Each structure stands twice: as C-alpha cells, then as structure tokens.
Amino acid sequence: MKPVILVVEDEPPLQKLLAYNLEAAGFAVVQAFDGEEALTLIEERAPDLILLDWMLPQISGLEVCRRLRRRPDTSRLPIIMLTARGEEPDRLRGLDTGADDFITKPFSPAELVARIRAVLRRVRPAFAEQLLSFHDLRMDLAAHRVFRGEREVHLSPTEFRLLRHFLEHPGRVFSRAQLLDRVWGSDLEIELRTVDATIRRLRRALNAGGESDLLRTIRAEGYSLDRKHAATSAEPGGGEGGADAEPEREEPGGLSARSAGDSWPYPSPRPAAE
Ligand code: CA
C-alpha cells in the first residue's frame, strides 16, 4: 500500500508543489501548515515519514522534531527536514535534531523523491518488496497469496489489506482508528468495532492450523504484528520471560491486557518491563 507522507510546510504554493510531486511518485500525502496541526495529524493518520520544514510559525520544525523524538510512539518515525539556503545541513546535523536527513531549498522534485525512498528503504525495507514475510508468515503481493509455513491461508480482500499493512509495519502498534484510516480509508462510515471483527477473522484464518498467534492486542492502544508475542504464545508456560510467556486472551471489547512494550519498527533493545 502507498506509504503516507506528512508534509509540514506553511507556504501554500510549496505545499501544493510537494503534494503534487509526491502523489505523482506514488505516495499518499497528508498536509499540515504548522507544527500544532502536524502533531495532531500524526496522532490521527500515523504517517510513514514526515517532511518537515525548518521555518514554521509558532512551533519551529526543530521543536516539532525534538518533541516527536521524545515520544515513544514517534521516536523512530522517519523525519526529513527542509531547510533554507544558508542553514547549512552540516551545522544543523550538529544540533542533535534527530532528523534522518536534510534537504536544502530549492531542491528538485526528483532529488526529494529519491531521498524519501532512500530513508524509507532504510527504515522499512518492506515498502520495496514484493514478498513480505514475518515469522512463518509469507505474503506474495504479485500472486496475491498468503502462506503460514506450507499452508495456504485464504483471506478476504479486507483481511488481505489489513495483514499487508501489519507486514509493512512489523512491531508497530496501530489504534483501531488508525487502522480504519489506513486500511479501510477515511472516507467510509465504518465503526471501530468492524476493525475488531476483521482482526478476529484474520486471526482465525492465520491460526487455523494451530499455529502461534502473531497479532498482539494492546488494551486501549490497538494491535500489532509482534514476533516476541508469536514466540511466547507458541509455548505457553515456557519461553524465556515469566510474565511474557502467558498466552493472551482477547476480551469482549477486542483489546486485552498488555502494554505497548516494544517500539516500531525495530524491537526494543531493552528487555520489556512488563
Ligand atoms: Ca516555511
């Protein structure tokens, strides 16, 4: 599915130009005109990358970047900063902004798209792949087929899109609202419990051969594809970590007791404190 780019830029003509070029390059674009709006939209839309102008009214791009790096859910979100000529990227790098890359204005659309692709490839190799895999789960996008080990898993189109979204963002937790937006599309009038129902059907299909559950439910947070969860749910009572070895049960509301733990896109280097 299309990677979502949040463009934070206060000058409307430049916003328009960026949106046009990014959409032409196959990205979905969300636009914010100041830092406050950007922080709200990150919450709602869960973008894959942020293109962040350095010079913004009220909260500067630098401050937005620092705030995002402090929040566990956005600490690894890819950020490319746009800077004006004269704000030398080398000097800015030294400011410990946490940005993944800097692009100096004026820039060519081709260069911008290439830099975005390079950052996305680095943090999310899944975007460039035709074959997505996780644990013993494989999705062949070209053939539109899913396998759990040797067993083929048959999914509805919505279940397929939902699973593809998780495979493209392994380990990352998505709220039900974010999943609705990313998988179903924000223009549709669909209730949040539809997400729970689809997750239940997807789980049933994925685990029909008695395999471990790869989908983790996080109470009041959402869902994620979780390798550690898969490892521990395969061996209830065993595994390396006491409390982690408890198999998870789904509650009627759809969300069960477990905290966020790992941050995306990589598993936390720390042992999870749960
Ligand atoms: Ca600006």
Q: How far is the CA of 14 from the centre of ligand 1 (A)?
A: 9
Share of the chain above pLDDT 90, in %: 47
75 compared with 246, residue with greater pLDDT: 75
pTM (predicted TM-score): 0.65
> Degrees (nearest 5) of the Cα angle 8, 54, 46?
35
pLDDT, residue 253, reads 41
Q: How far is the CA of 208 from the centre of ligand 1 (A)?
A: 52
Question: Across residues 221-231, what is the average pLDDT?
Answer: 80
Q: Which residue has the tokens 């409390």?
A: 243
* pLDDT single digits (tens) 128-138: 778 898 999 99
Closest CA relative to residue 225, chosen from 181, 173, 260: 173
Q: Which residue has the tokens 């999943």?
A: 179
Q: How far is the CA of 84 from the centre of ligand 1 (A)?
A: 9
Closest CA relative to residue 226, chosen from 174, 191, 154: 174
Contact 66, 50 (CB under 8 A): no
Q: Which residue has the tokens 């279940």?
A: 159
Closest CA relative to residue 43, chosen from 9, 11, 74, 16: 74
Q: How far is the CA of 119 from the centre of ligand 1 (A)?
A: 22
Q: In what order do the strands lie in the sheet with 145-148?
A: 131-134, 137-140, 145-148, 151-153
Domain spans in the chain, listed from the N-terminal domain onward: 4-127, 131-241
Q: Which residue has the tokens 């998988």?
A: 183
Q: How far is the CA of 103 from the centre of ligand 1 (A)?
A: 13
pLDDT, residue 157, reads 93
Distance CA 196, CA 251 (A): 10
Say if domain 4-127 classifies as CATH 3.40.50.2300.
Answer: yes
Share of the chain above pLDDT 70, in %: 78
Fold assignment, 131-241: Arc Repressor Mutant, subunit A (1.10.10)
Residues 6+ apart with CB under 8 A from 27: 2, 3, 4, 5, 116
Q: How far is the CA of 120 from the centre of ligand 1 (A)?
A: 24
Q: How far is the CA of 235 from the centre of ligand 1 (A)?
A: 53
Is the sign of the CA dihedral 59, 64, 66, 68 positive or negative? positive
Contact 18, 7 (CB under 8 A): yes
pLDDT, residue 186, reads 63
Q: How far is the CA of 249 from the centre of ligand 1 (A)?
A: 48
Q: How far is the CA of 229 from the centre of ligand 1 (A)?
A: 43
Side chain identity at 264, as an amino acid letter? W
pLDDT, residue 258, reads 35
Q: How far is the CA of 33 from the centre of ligand 1 (A)?
A: 9
Is the sign of the CA dihedral 74, 75, 77, 79 positive or negative? positive
In the three-class reduction of DSSP (H, G, I as helix; E, B as strand; rest coil), residue 223 is classed as strand
237 compared with 212, residue with greater pLDDT: 212
Side chain identity at 247, as an amino acid letter? P
Residue 242's CB: how many other CB atoms inside 10 A?
Answer: 8
Residue 71's CB: how many other CB atoms inside 10 A?
Answer: 13
Residues 6+ apart with CB under 8 A from 205: 153, 154, 155, 159
Q: How far is the CA of 181 from the centre of ligand 1 (A)?
A: 28
* pLDDT single digits (tens) 7-50: 999 999 999 999 999 999 999 999 999 999 999 999 888 899 99
